[in-house]
Amino acid sequence: MDDAAPRSLTLVIPLYNEAESLPELVAQIGTVRATLGLPVQILFIDDGSTDASWAVIQRLAAEHPGFTGVRFRRNFGKAAALQAGFERATGDVVFTLDADLQDDPAEIPGFLAALAAGKDVVSGWKQVRHDPVYKVLPSRIFNAMVSRTTGVKLHDHNCGFKAYRRDVVKSVRLYGELHRFVPVLAAAQGFRVGERVVRHRARKFGRSKFGWQRFLKGFLDMLGVRFVTAFGRRPLHAFGALAFLGFGLTGLFSVAGFMAWFAGYASLGFVGLLAASVSATLGGQAFLVGLVAELLVAKLAPTSSPFAITETLGLGDPP
Ligand code: UDP
Ligand code: MG
């Protein structure tokens, strides 16, 4: 792991219809950039905006050095925008921050200090939030659940403001709507994850792009990420365990059913045998699904590495 002081930074800024916020955001970035003494690449990812966002970015890029941008053909979602940014980022440290002025670029030096203290990922924690209560409360529950389920204990998984060592963003691949789970995916590869409190500001222009569905989707994504990080390379272990459970229950129900039958409770015996055949069928199904999943993993194995290397010794080539 390269713990040396960063020689350059990249700010990845996903945005969807944020034209009004951009000039002020750029001014705030300019202020902090002047104090950093490092080259800073600013990478706007316009996620299919239908307002004047892209025109504003073009104008700003003409006025300021170091401004770059990617424009999606349509709205693909925040995770896709972050992935596009991660692929193009050139800095030693990569920041993600929202474009809506809720994240304060003045926090950047604090994040750098937290990385220097030995983390690979530092996630923002909006300890005092300026969001409506109907958003804050479910968010607390979501964070507690994700921390418990994934073992990555953060107070604010969904905070858009995060800092990553370059290795992290080049190793993690975001798919679906996993923008809330980058630290979880990074931790699964052995990266060190920390958090730091950030000042949160109320949205000044426009409105949030995520409705109540975010909690439902976030919950399903949590289950998906948990499954993939635990069993992504060995699905038969998960489905096989379910199959054993099914077959175990089949045995139990059969014995109980026959016993009831011989004791003269014919209808109870019938119910037992019915339950036995249902569990046998479900167990068999689970086993077959496990085999199919295993087959997929075996076919994909040549294209994905089963390990993550942090350093090599005496081999010359970079990891
Ligand atoms: N965003 C995006 N694509 C989308 C939705 C949102 O790039 O499909 C951007 C949005 O413009 C903002 C950031 O992601 O810069 C966070 O979105 P928002 O402020 O709406 O989320 P919230 O603060 O409500 O969590
Ligand atoms: Mg916001």
Q: Are residues 74 and 150 in the same domain?
A: yes
Domain final residue, candidates 207, 231, 255: 231
CB 13 within 8 Å of CB 25? yes
For the Cβ of 156 lying below 6 angstroms from any atom of ligand 1, the answer is no
Q: What is the CATH number of the domain that holds 174?
A: 3.90.550.10
Q: Are residues 146 and 257 in the same domain?
A: no
Domain final residue, candidates 231, 250, 271: 231
Q: Are residues 145 and 208 in the same domain?
A: yes
Task: Measure 184 CA to ligand 1 centroid, in angstroms.
Answer: 20
CB 43 within 8 Å of CB 12? yes
Best of 22, 24, 57, 78 to mutate for ligand 1, by most ligand atoms within 8 A of CB?
78
Q: Are residues 200 and 272 in the same domain?
A: no
User: What is the number of domains present in the chain?
Assistant: 2
Domain annotation covers residue 105: yes
CB atoms closer than 10 angstroms to residue 27? 11
Q: Are residues 177 and 44 in the same domain?
A: yes
Please tell me the predicted confidence (pLDDT) of residue 1: 47
Nearest protein CA to atom 17 of ligand 1, as residue: 209
What global pTM score does this model have? 0.92
Q: How far apart are CA 317 and CA 65, in angstroms?
A: 34
Task: Report the relative pairing of strands 162-165 and 93-96 from DSSP bridges.
Answer: antiparallel
Residue 99 Cα: closest atom of ligand 1: 15
In this structure, what token pair is assigned to residue 105?
A: 């670029």
Task: Measure 314 CA to ligand 2 centroid, in angstroms.
Answer: 47
Domain annotation covers residue 312: no
Domain annotation covers residue 30: yes
In this structure, what token pair is assigned to residue 104?
A: 């304060």
- Mean pLDDT per 10-residue section of the chain, whose length is 319 residues: 82 98 96 95 97 96 90 97 97 98 97 97 95 89 97 96 97 95 97 96 93 94 96 96 98 97 96 98 98 95 82 75
Domain annotation covers residue 49: yes
CA 31 to chain centre: 30
Q: How far apart are CA 8 and CA 33, in angstroms?
A: 11
Q: Are residues 150 and 261 in the same domain?
A: no
Domain annotation covers residue 311: no
Domain annotation covers residue 167: yes
Residue 14 Cα: closest atom of ligand 1: 7
Could you give the C-alpha distances from 256 to 277, 278, 279, in angstroms and in order? 13, 15, 14
For the Cβ of 99 lying below 6 angstroms from any atom of ligand 1, the answer is yes
Best of 11, 12, 13, 16 to mutate for ligand 1, by most ligand atoms within 8 A of CB?
16
Q: Are residues 24 and 167 in the same domain?
A: yes
Range of the structural domain that residue 90 is part of: 9-231
Domain annotation covers residue 208: yes
Domain final residue, candidates 212, 231, 250: 231
CA 258 to chain centre: 50
Please tell me the predicted confidence (pLDDT) of residue 118: 95
Domain annotation covers residue 177: yes
Q: Are residues 214 and 261 in the same domain?
A: no
Nearest protein CA to atom 21 of ligand 1, as residue: 208
Q: Are residues 135 and 154 in the same domain?
A: yes
Q: Are residues 22 and 143 in the same domain?
A: yes
Task: Measure 98 CA to ligand 2 centroid, in angstroms.
Answer: 6
Q: Are residues 176 and 66 in the same domain?
A: yes
Q: How far apart are CA 186 and CA 162, in angstroms?
A: 12
Q: Are residues 151 and 278 in the same domain?
A: no
Q: How far apart are CA 218 and CA 241, in angstroms?
A: 26
